[in-house]
Amino acid sequence: MLQRVGEGGSLSITMNIIIALLCILTNQVISQTKDIFPAKILAQQTIISENSDLYVTCTTLERKKDSKVFIYLLKNGRGIQNLTQKQDRSDTKFSIPRAGLHHSGNYSCVYSQKPYTLSEVVKKGDDIIEILVIANFLPADISIVGPSTVHEGDYVEFQCTVSQHLHTLGGCKFIYAYLRKNDMILQVQVFNVSQMLATFIIDSAVLKDSGPYSCIVLPSKCFYEHEYTVHGTNNLFLEVKVDLISLGLLRYGVITLMVLLVAFLCGSNNKQANADMLEK
């Protein structure tokens, strides 16, 4: 019985130690961030294209300009950059050159009177803006209206679609879509963002139109130049068959024409020979 009480007392002491340590750590975090204050954040563009430079400005108009302060830029609540703001300034500009898709997120600013490492900045800013970086090229889905095996002279219609939500710069309603065969761009059409569709047409298919087709769209540009190094999500192989009946008729017509031509030439020679004999 005494042993059980001793075990219970030991457990209680251990729990008290753990609680005390947690309180100490909490107080340290609070004391570390007690002098970290929110700042305003501004951005000229909240939607930018991939590989563009991202610029945001942190402003501390409300603070007393008695000394320099340290400004921190946060993404999704974590410090990613820091700069020193001079006493006579209230704005600090941060830049991220050639922003990638992974730079999309929620951005905020804070400042402090003394410097901290980025990992120590755990207090989010009250003012938050969402930055969205959209891809220059987006693989699209391609389908064919009707069978994928056609005959020479047939009408062929491809449809290019995007299943996910499409963001564009400035709310652009029309962007470029490209029909690719192998690694070459064959056609350029307007992609209707509201309908999420672009249509490509081959009026009269020929044998050389056979091959794998894919489609890409450019959500970051409204009718601008493209690059050639991006592939669609899938390939579609179009086969154009030669009509054997038409081919046979063509061959028969050529042979018949040759026979008639030979007969004509032979008849002309015979007439000429008879005329020569009569003159003699």
Which of 33, 60, 37, 41 lies closest to 116, judged by CA?
33
Same fold, 32-134 and 138-241: yes
Q: Any idea which architecture 32-134 has in CATH?
A: Sandwich (2.60)
**DSSP label at residue 228:** S
CA distance 123 to 37: 8
CA distance 28 to 32: 6
Which of 193, 157, 200 lies closest to 178, judged by CA?
200
Cα angle 58, 63, 65; round to 5: 105
How confident is the model over 237-280, as pLDDT tens digits? 887 777 666 556 566 666 776 767 766 666 666 665 555 555 55
β-bridge partners, 106: 130
Helices then strands, each counted (H, E), the chain: 2, 16
Q: For the whole prediction, is pTM greater than 0.95?
A: no
Residue 81 three-state SS: strand
* pLDDT value for 122: 76
CA distance 182 to 235: 9
* pLDDT value for 227: 42
Which residue's entry shows tokens 């007969």? Answer: 263
* pLDDT value for 94: 97
* pLDDT value for 183: 82
Cβ atoms 91, 45 nearer than 8 A = no
Q: Pairing mode, if any, of strands 105-112 and 129-134?
A: antiparallel
Domain ranges for the chain: 32-134, 138-241
Residue 19 three-state SS: helix
Buried b (16+ CB within 10 A) or exposed e, 18-50: eeeeeeeeeeeeeebbeebbbbbbebeeebbbb
H helix or E strand, kind and range, residue 111:
strand 105-112
Query: SS3 letters for 142-193?
Result: EEECCCCEEECCCCEEEEEECCCCCCCHHHCCEEEEEEEECCEEEEEEEEEC
* pLDDT value for 79: 94
Q: Using 50 as the pLDDT threshold, list the residues of the chain that sit under it.
A: 1-5, 26-27, 29-31, 224-230
Cα–Cα distance list, 249 to 93, 98, 255 (Å): 76, 62, 10
**DSSP label at residue 243:** -
The CATH classification number of 138-241 equals 2.60.40.10
* Rounded-to-10 torsion of CA 110, 113, 118, 121: -60
